[in-house]
Chains A and B, each alone.
Chain A
Amino acid sequence: MAASAGAPRHPAATFPPIPLYKRVYGLGSIYGKTIRDSRLSFIIAAGMFGGLALVLGAAIGTVFPTPEVRKELGTLVGSMPAAMVNMFGNVTLMGDKLGTLGGYVTWKYGSLFSLGTALWSILALSGTLAGESAKGSLDIVATSPFGKRRIAIEKIAAHLTAVWAALVVLAVMQTLSAYAFGDASLGDRIPLESSLAYAISIGFTAMFFGGLTLVLAPYLGRGGSAGIASLAMLLTWLVSGLDVGGPLRHLSPFYWTYDNIPLVGIYDWGPVLAVGIVGVVLIGIGVELFGRRDLGVTTGLSLPSLPDGVLGVRGPVSRAFGDQLPRALAWGLGLAFWGAMLASLVGSFSDTIGKDPGLSDAFGRIFPGFDFATPGAWLQLYLELFLIVAGFAAATFVSKWASDENDGRLEVVLSTPLSRAMWVVAGGVGALLAVVVATALWVVGILVGSAAGGAAAGDALLGSASFGLVAAAFVGVGVAVGGLWRTSLAAEITAVIVIVTYLIDLLSAPLNLPDWFHQLALTAHMGQPMLGTWDPVGIVACLAIAFGGIGLGAWGMTRRDVAR
């Protein structure tokens, strides 16, 4: 008997049910698989959030231990140029509460939590659908018995689960930190509901920009949507912070929630909910567009490609550098933008401090060894923040180098007369050249910003090279890990080492950890290069780690199997 068309092949078949835990975490559903894939980013984000919350709590108790110093902090912030103050929060509304743990964290680091989380959503949500479409892996998922909308919803839900879980960690650690390290008499206690409100605000902002990415992704693809959404995030933040007026600021979720400062007990729920609603609507539009449009077909509007001449086909070093160049330019342009912005502000800031001996004295006591009447001192403070960025930039360069092996190119490359050691050396040199490009652009940013702000960059120009030194050292670490062991984890291990070394540097003083422990951090050996004070040990260490790491990687590569 002929089977009728469309008849099920297993009409009576029953299959064992998929366990719930596998649907939630594992290979039992698209959601579970995406959660499983997000575990590393969740661990890093939750670790960073929780760690920073603890560190900041510990730090403020040490750096600002008395009511008098807290008052000086308020005076200091009040004396800053309005543009700089507003970038980081509504100081006017905070008033005296600026001197509390919640106020200080909001003012100094609040934007970083918001921007960082939003960036995570942008990168994840541009990759989860558009990136997979481009790779072709989504074609297979999309031919499973689920509609495209359901696939999108499950993937987005998984990402949001990871984000919200990390934010819950932040909220809990924030409250724990406030109770462990804060001084109740100075108003440092932060109730859990305040921390949760803070996390909700950050989460909604991330959904806003993640949703924007999803809307753009079907048209622009992964790179284009992530680039435009990141630019939109930075622009709306700057437009709000710099208070330049104009209609554009009304589009900024940062401007909408400017009066919401939950860590000091000031709530403005209406705008926060508005941000969340817009985020949900954007995500909904993104899901609908994904459902309606052709899979993996974009409008062709993507980031401009590099001219043929710099792509590098002359040899292994030029190829490695050509491969790194787009990434180096992306980092460099971003750093140049930030460098220019900060350098343009520090001139007027140092002038203000210089004209007020009392203020200068207060700052000198808070940060011994810094002369805040000079722009270099402020740039040095920012450099120390940027050294973690240098490490992450290096990790991405390592990742690019490692992709030769992880993506399956190395097999073809090594079937030519190129030796394994030479491949590692060429890749390492290519990554170091990428560091040079990114650093050079950052230096240009500092130069332009200083000139625009009327400050003499002076030592800071040369000092900016320390960014490159640290990045080069982390490139060495990554290449060594990749060569000796495996390239598939080289970038991740580099990133973890960056975080650990940064936390060691940050935690040692506030937690009164032994000096030898502090000295383990590479960044503890950099001196104050923006002020012209270099630590030769740091320079030698960075160069030794950079080149030694590449050498070690080359040696290791000759001894292990090439992965497929």
Chain B
Amino acid sequence: MTPVIALEKLTKSYGRSRGIIDVDLEVQQGEVFGFLGPNGAGKTTTIRTTLDLIRPTSGRATVFGIGSTADPVAIHKRVGYIPGEFTLYDRLTGKQTLEYFANLRGGVDPVYQASLIERFELETGKRFKEYSKGNKQKVGVIAALQHKPELLVLDEPTSGLDPLVQQTFFNTLRECVTDGATVFLSSHILSEVEKSCNRVAIIRDGQIAKLDTVEGLRDLAHHQVELRFAGPVPSDAFAHLPGVSDVVAEDHVLRMRVAGTITPVVRAAAQYELLDFVSREPSLEETFLAQYGREAVEAGSDGR
């Protein structure tokens, strides 16, 4: 089956500045695909190149099997897009703005549009310039959803939304997916990415560093292990075990990070009088931080 999005060695350079380099990924029909990366990693460049807002230096992006530069209008007809940063027409009210974007798409189902307005509790009579940041974002969200697109490309879609509206947004997103939509989601709300996405790609310095299922990525990260002993325990007994790092001793408690299997740690701990053993499964957020933080897992792109 043709993937909804297929990027093949997609590269965009801005003269001397790095953009993205050889980005390869595929997003399948009905999938919610998370796209993570720190600021400046290349997330927005990837999205803008995919939607033909900027042209690739080399490589190729296809959406619905259509080359992004070949017929962008055909792609846009089937896409709903929320940019990371945007503004709309200051003088138009929310209602007029939504009407205009509906008109550009040849009309939308007014009942569905009204249901979105109601669900997001948007006061449509105000002019765009009078809206708060969150309400401006709501207008963008509804404009992207109201025509029931087959593909939603969302760049930080919940920016400025309060937690309740964020929840509404992700509920709506799940409904869209149930209806058959595909979602490409760039977000920093990792807990939501974790809950919503099937697969996640992590981009770093313009290159895909990891691409896997949420579970798969989680397994890549370190476990945080805490051992509580009856008496003092030499930290050296653990520091040199395979996969162990950052061993910290505090009274009778040892804390450490463990990459991969924790069997060596369990075996070593069993040689002492152990009162408690806590091993916490890493969240996606910790995976993300591990990927970019001081204790980054092996740099490179072996997970591609």
Complex Cα gap A118–B152 (Å)? 51
CB of B53 within 8 A of CB of A319, answer: no
Query: Given the interface contacts A411-B53, A561-B53, A562-B53, does A416 sit within 8 Å of B96 by beta carbon?
Result: no
Annotate A398-428 by CB proximity to B: 1 below 8 A, 0 otherwise.
0000000001110111111111100000000
List 10 other contacts, CB 8 Å, given A326-B91, A418-B76.
A306-B91, A313-B96, A313-B100, A314-B103, A315-B103, A409-B87, A412-B143, A415-B144, A416-B101, A418-B104
Complex Cα gap A185–B73 (Å)? 72
Complex Cα gap A306–B96 (Å)? 13
Is residue A299 within 8 Å, beta carbon to beta carbon, of the partner chain? no
Is residue B54 within 8 Å, beta carbon to beta carbon, of the partner chain? yes
CB of B54 within 8 A of CB of A313, answer: no
Nearest to A316 among chain B residues (CB) is: B104
Interface residues on B, range: 35 or more
Is residue A157 within 8 Å, beta carbon to beta carbon, of the partner chain? no
14 A-B residue pairings within 8 Å (CB atoms): A134-B129, A311-B91, A311-B92, A311-B96, A323-B91, A408-B83, A408-B85, A412-B83, A413-B104, A416-B104, A417-B104, A418-B104, A420-B72, A561-B55
Complex Cα gap A408–B140 (Å)? 12
Complex Cα gap A134–B128 (Å)? 13
CB of B87 within 8 A of CB of A407, answer: yes
Is residue B189 within 8 Å, beta carbon to beta carbon, of the partner chain? no
Q: Which chain B residues lie closer than 8 Å to A411 at the CB level?
A: 48, 53, 81, 83, 86
Query: Given the interface contacts A313-B103, A561-B54, A562-B53, does A415 sit within 8 Å of B88 by beta carbon?
Result: no
Nearest to B133 among chain A residues (CB) is: A136
Complex Cα gap A326–B89 (Å)? 13
User: In chain B between 94 and 135, which residues have their CB closer than 8 angstroms to a CB of chain A?
Assistant: 96-97, 99-101, 103-106, 129
Q: Which chain B residues lie closer than 8 Å to A413 at the CB level?
A: 104
Q: Looking at A314, A407, A561, which has the most chain B CB atoms within 10 Å of its CB?
A: A561
Interface residues of B, dominant DSSP: mixed
Chain B residues close to A by CB (< 8 Å): 44, 48, 51, 53-55, 72-73, 76-77, 79-81, 83, 85-89, 91-92, 96-97, 99-101, 103-106, 129, 140, 143-144, 153
| Pick from B76, B92, B100, B103: contact of A415, CB under 8 Å | B76
CB of B73 within 8 A of CB of A417, answer: yes
Is residue A294 within 8 Å, beta carbon to beta carbon, of the partner chain? no
Nearest to A406 among chain B residues (CB) is: B87
Complex Cα gap A417–B53 (Å)? 13
Complex Cα gap A415–B55 (Å)? 14
Q: Which chain A residues lie closer than 8 Å to B103 at the CB level?
A: 313-315
Chain A residues close to B by CB (< 8 Å): 134, 305-306, 308, 311, 313-316, 319, 322-323, 326, 407-409, 411-420, 560-562, 564
Complex Cα gap A414–B86 (Å)? 12
Write the nearest CB–CB distance from B285 to chain A, whole angstroms. Answer: 27
Nearest to A306 among chain B residues (CB) is: B91
Instruction: State the 7 A-B residue pairs at the shortest beta-carbon distance, nearest first.
Output: A415-B81, A561-B54, A313-B100, A416-B104, A562-B53, A411-B83, A417-B77
CB of A564 within 8 A of CB of B85, answer: yes
Write the nearest CB–CB distance from A399 to chain B, whole angstroms. Answer: 14
Nearest to A411 among chain B residues (CB) is: B83
| Pick from B48, B92, B105, B153: contact of A417, CB under 8 Å | B105
Write the nearest CB–CB distance from B70 to chain A, whole angstroms. Answer: 12
Nearest to A421 among chain B residues (CB) is: B73
CB of A409 within 8 A of CB of B104, answer: no
CB of B96 within 8 A of CB of A308, answer: yes
CB of A562 within 8 A of CB of B54, answer: yes
Write the nearest CB–CB distance from A103 to chain B, whole angstroms. Answer: 47
Q: Looking at B85, B89, B99, B143, which has the most chain A CB atoms within 10 Å of its CB?
A: B89
CB of B73 within 8 A of CB of A409, answer: no
CB of B96 within 8 A of CB of A417, answer: no
Nearest to A135 among chain B residues (CB) is: B129
Q: Looking at A308, A311, A319, A564, which has the most chain B CB atoms within 10 Å of its CB?
A: A564
CB of A315 within 8 A of CB of B53, answer: no
Q: Which chain A residues lie closer than 8 Å to B53 at the CB level?
A: 411, 414-415, 561-562
| Pick from A326, A416, A419, A560: contact of B105, CB under 8 Å | A416
Q: Looking at A314, A415, A417, A420, which has the most chain B CB atoms within 10 Å of its CB?
A: A415
Q: Which chain B residues lie closer than 8 Å to A407 at the CB level?
A: 87
Q: Which chain B residues lie closer than 8 Å to A409 at the CB level?
A: 86-89
Q: Which chain A residues lie closer than 8 Å to B89 at the CB level?
A: 319, 323, 409
Q: Which chain A residues lie closer than 8 Å to B92 at the CB level?
A: 311, 313
Q: Which chain B residues lie closer than 8 Å to A414 at the CB level?
A: 51, 53, 72, 76
Complex Cα gap A562–B85 (Å)? 14
Q: Which chain A residues lie closer than 8 Å to B86 at the CB level?
A: 408-409, 411-412
Nearest to B81 among chain A residues (CB) is: A415
Q: Which chain A residues lie closer than 8 Å to B51 at the CB level?
A: 414-415
Write the nearest CB–CB distance from B110 to chain A, whole angstroms. Answer: 14
Nearest to A414 among chain B residues (CB) is: B53
Q: Which chain A residues lie closer than 8 Å to B99 at the CB level?
A: 313
Write the nearest CB–CB distance from B267 to chain A, whole angstroms. Answer: 42
CB of A562 within 8 A of CB of B96, answer: no
CB of B91 within 8 A of CB of A562, answer: no
Q: Which chain B residues lie closer than 8 Å to A419 at the CB level?
A: 72-73
Write the nearest CB–CB distance from B138 to chain A, whole angstroms. Answer: 14
Nearest to B72 among chain A residues (CB) is: A419
Complex Cα gap A562–B87 (Å)? 15
Complex Cα gap A308–B93 (Å)? 9
Complex Cα gap A298–B186 (Å)? 38
Q: Which chain B residues lie closer than 8 Å to A564 at the CB level?
A: 44, 48, 85
| Pick from A319, A326, A408, A420: contact of B100, CB under 8 Å | A319
Write the nearest CB–CB distance from A487 to chain B, whole angstroms. Answer: 14
CB of A417 within 8 A of CB of B76, answer: yes
Q: Which chain A residues lie closer than 8 Å to B48 at the CB level?
A: 411, 562, 564
Complex Cα gap A417–B73 (Å)? 5
Nearest to A559 among chain B residues (CB) is: B55
Q: Which chain B residues lie closer than 8 Å to A417 at the CB level?
A: 73, 76-77, 104-106
Q: Which chain A residues lie closer than 8 Å to B73 at the CB level?
A: 417-419
CB of B100 within 8 A of CB of A305, answer: no
Nearest to B77 among chain A residues (CB) is: A417
Q: Which chain B residues lie closer than 8 Å to A561 at the CB level?
A: 53-55
Q: Which chain B residues lie closer than 8 Å to A322 at the CB level?
A: 91
Write the nearest CB–CB distance from B15 to chain A, whole angstroms. Answer: 12
Complex Cα gap A51–B55 (Å)? 43
CB of B91 within 8 A of CB of A412, answer: no
Complex Cα gap A417–B96 (Å)? 18
Complex Cα gap A323–B76 (Å)? 24
Nearest to A314 among chain B residues (CB) is: B103
Write the nearest CB–CB distance from B303 to chain A, whole angstroms. Answer: 30
Query: Given the interface contacts A313-B103, A415-B81, does A408 sit within 8 Å of B55 by beta carbon?
Result: no
CB of A315 within 8 A of CB of B104, answer: yes
Complex Cα gap A168–B81 (Å)? 52
CB of B100 within 8 A of CB of A412, answer: no
Write the nearest CB–CB distance from B23 to chain A, whole angstroms. Answer: 17
Write the nearest CB–CB distance from A168 to chain B, whole angstroms. Answer: 38
Complex Cα gap A560–B91 (Å)? 29
CB of B88 within 8 A of CB of A412, answer: yes
Q: Which chain A residues lie closer than 8 Å to B101 at the CB level?
A: 412, 416
Write the nearest CB–CB distance from B92 to chain A, whole angstroms. Answer: 6
Q: Which chain A residues lie closer than 8 Å to B85 at the CB level?
A: 408, 564
